[in-house]
A and B are shown apart, each in its own frame.
Chain A
Amino acid sequence: MDILVSSIVAGVLIGMVLALVALGLTIIFGVMDIVNFAHGEFLMIGMYTGLLTAQATGMDPLFTLPVAAAVGFLLGLLCYVGFVKFLLRGPMVAQLLGTFGLMLFLRNLALLIFGSEDRALHHGLLVGKSFDLGMGVIVPATKLAAAGLSVVAFLAVWLMMNRTKVGKALTATALNAQGARYMGIPTERMNALAWGIGVGSVTVAGALIVNFWSVNPFVGLLFTMIAFAIVALGGFGSVPGAFFAGLVVGIITEIPGIWDFFTYTLNWEWMAKVPMTSFKYTFVYLAYFIIMVIRPSGLFGWRH
């Protein structure tokens, strides 16, 4: 029983972080209909930012979030003004090609600067500690803190989107860019802002993830795919959808643990033979495929 509960708890916790990863993608997609393949690379940059700031200043890694947010915001603005703005004029093919180029560029720039070896955090207030939640469920403190802070960051962005004037302008641009322009909303600036917020939130997620995940320049792709799955599940452009879908995908990544539980309880020989851990992310991709085919607007989608 405790395997089942701890798998689900672990899934929910990682799901909260993954929701924050997907938030940036869904905002950028919602506002300007562009699929950003470089999303995971921004996460990687966030991870390096968190790691290097913590190592250089000796701060606790959890306090590096503002630095990561600032770096991400500026990077997002820069990417939009310097590059993505020109892509938006072209057809979809050019946008795919362009964000792929951006992905390759960022990944290999990181490879050139940081080298290909794995790096991980070894110090910090919470590293190595764990909490006992009862029922035999033991959670690493870093994951718990990352999940909690992700929810806070997610809520902050959600409140900004819904309660402030700028956020409402952003949502209006997402719903109908032309209409928003007629209403006097500077949509060009809103696009830039969406990139700033989108990239900023994903670098924050990166700085949280680096607490319990080692970083190398190639880490991004996995998260890009997971973020796509979450965004598809939640509905492209839907912010609350991204949160719930994040939790679902988090639990999907813990299917191997759940499978183990059933193997022990049912005691079926063949179940033990399936190499479930290798399929950890396969289920995420499969879920993406199935959801897209059955319900292209996602589970909570408000727009196709």
Chain B
Amino acid sequence: MEALKSAFDFSDFPRSDLIVAGLGALFILLFPLFPHSSFAMATMIQFLMFSLYGMGWNTIGGYGGQVDLGKAQYVGIGAYTTAVMLIRWDIPFWISMPIGMCFAVIWSFMIGYPLFRLKGHYFAIATIATSLVLLDLFQVWDFVGAARGLEISPIKYSPPDFWRLIFKEDIYYYYVISGFFFVGIFYINWFRNSRLGFQLRCIKDNEDVARSLGINVHWAKIKTYAIATAFVSMVGSFHACYIKNIEPEDTMSLDISILIALMAMLGGAGSLWGPIIGAGVLIPLKSYLKEWLGARAGLLGIDLIIYALIIMVISAVEPRGIWGVIERIRGKRGK
């Protein structure tokens, strides 16, 4: 009960934040009622998925300050668990998703225990290495379709199938993922004021001080890593049902890991709104730039060049990301 109360307690944010957040939430809920193209719908679903990935990353990467660049392996574990279970044994999404989360968390404990002996750059690169090892394994593992991947054919089921999460129209997927999105926000809101959340921020500021205060640093990091993993794997399961065609290259490539970390870092790591802002800016930018410049004008790669330039400018000018820029403006106005 206490936890629920603190999950819904946003009172430590300034009123302007809450008004903007409320308007944003209203927009997300009402978006399908406005006339929209299917492309805009797909972009919105991508945005919600990546904000969830980012929220997961933000627990360990933002509050904990451990830059993790291997989140794609958990997207893969979640997606593959759901797809394999649905195709082979007809196990519906709502059962396979928690199972996938369990697998992902077990794997995160297994690699997290040695990983967190490393710090900083060493940790970041080691997470990439584990992710790539898992990717290579999935590419030759026949049980999960090897390099061809798996395909969930919607013909076998009768959409709309809420139990298996097989739909024809995107609007159903939209509301499922926005449900996850709001649950995610409340969870992170609880997390940031939980005991673990405070411990993590202390670890981020100074690990030695944290240890001297009696915090089990290693264990706190592993626990948070598991939380981040559960988030990512949950959306991975959704990804399998939404995309319906999963290949190791698409779901587990390093690009996904980088994108997840970039969104959160660009938006502002270590704040509740950061990953959402990051995804809200980058995902539409990416898909529309690709649509306008890449596909129509035939300029391969120019979308990602502009995208990369924005990342470079932000990282050089304001390392705290877009949220840092907002806070700086607010600080000036306050004076």
Which A residue sits closest to B69, measured CB to CB?
A96
Q: List 18 A-B contacts (CB under 8 A).
A: A87-B315, A96-B121, A97-B262, A97-B311, A101-B311, A102-B312, A105-B309, A112-B300, A225-B129, A279-B136, A281-B132, A282-B132, A282-B136, A289-B114, A289-B129, A292-B126, A292-B129, A293-B114
Interface flag for A125 (CB, 8 Å):
no
Q: How far is the CA of A54 from the CA of B109 in the complex (A)?
A: 51
Contact A94 B315 (CB under 8 A): yes
Is A285 a contact partner of B308 (Cβ separation < 8 A)? Answer: no
Contact (Cβ within 8 A) A100 B125: no
Instruction: Say yes or no: A279 contacts B117, CB within 8 Å.
Output: no
Q: Which of A100, A101, A229, A286 has the largest number of chain B CB atoms within 10 A? A: A101
With CB as the reference atom, state the residue of chain B lying closest to A292.
B126
Does A93 count as interface, using CB distance less than 8 angstroms?
A: yes
Say yes or no: is A83 at the interface (Cβ < 8 Å to chain B).
yes
- The closest CB in chain A to the CB of B299 belongs to A112
Sorted from nearest, which 6 A-B pairs have the closest CB atoms?
A: A94-B319, A90-B319, A101-B311, A111-B301, A108-B301, A105-B308
Chain B residues whose CB sits within 8 angstroms of the CB of A232 once the complex forms: 122, 125
Say how far A21's CB is from chain B's closest CB, in angstroms: 16
Q: In the complex the two chains form, what is the Cα distance from A85 to B262 in whole Å?
A: 21
Give the residues in chain A near B118, CB-CB below 8 Å: 292-293, 296
B-contact 0/1 string along A262-286, CB 8 Å cutoff: 0000000000000100110110011
B292 within 8 A of A: no
Asked if A104 contacts B307 (CB within 8 A), the reply is: yes
A209 vs chain B, min Cβ distance (A) = 20
- For B, the interface residue count at a CB cutoff of 8 angstroms equals 47
Residues on the B chain within 8 Å of A105, using CB:
305, 308-309, 312
Q: Smallest CB-CB separation from B113: which chain A residue?
A: A293
Q: Tell me, in angstroms, the Cα distance from A115 to B301 when the chains sit together.
A: 9
Chain B 283-323 residues near chain A, CB threshold 8 A: 299-302, 304-305, 307-312, 314-317, 319
Nearest-Cβ distance from residue B115 to partner chain A, whole angstroms: 7
Taking a contact as CB atoms under 8 Å apart, the answer to whether A116 and B67 are in contact is no
Q: Hey, which chain A residues are within 8 Å of B314, CB to CB?
A: 97
B residues within 8 A CB of A229? Answer: 129
Q: A108-B304, A279-B140, A282-B133 are in contact. Are A293 and B315 (CB under 8 A)?
A: no
A280 to chain B, nearest CB (A): 9
Is there a chain A Cβ closer than 8 Å to B3's Cβ?
no
Query: Quick one: given A93-B265, A281-B136, are A293 and B120 in contact (CB under 8 Å)?
Result: no
A288 within 8 A of partner (CB):
yes
One of A87, A289, A292 near B133 (C-beta < 8 A): A289
CA distance A109 to B309 in the complex (A): 11
Residue of A nearest to B142 (CB): A275
| B305 A108 Cβ-Cβ under 8 A | yes
B120 touches A92 (CB 8 A): yes
Near B by CB (< 8 A), chain A positions 75-122 give 83, 86-87, 90-98, 100-105, 107-109, 111-112, 115-116
Docked CA distance A110–B41 (Å): 32
Residue B43 CB within 8 A of the other chain: no
Residues of B with C-beta under 8 A to A285: 129-130, 132-133, 136
The answer for the CA separation of A275 and B265 in the assembled complex, in Å, is 38
List the B side residues contacting A281 at CB < 8 Å: 132, 136
**Would A93 and B319 be within 8 Å (CB), given that A83-B312, A105-B305, A279-B140 are in contact?**
yes
Given A98-B316, A286-B133 in contact, is the A278-B128 Cβ separation under 8 Å? no
Name the A residues within 8 Å of B266 (CB-CB).
Answer: 97
Task: Mark out the residues of chain B between 75 and 130 whose CB falls within 8 Å of any chain A CB in the assembled complex.
Answer: 114-115, 117-118, 120-122, 124-126, 128-130
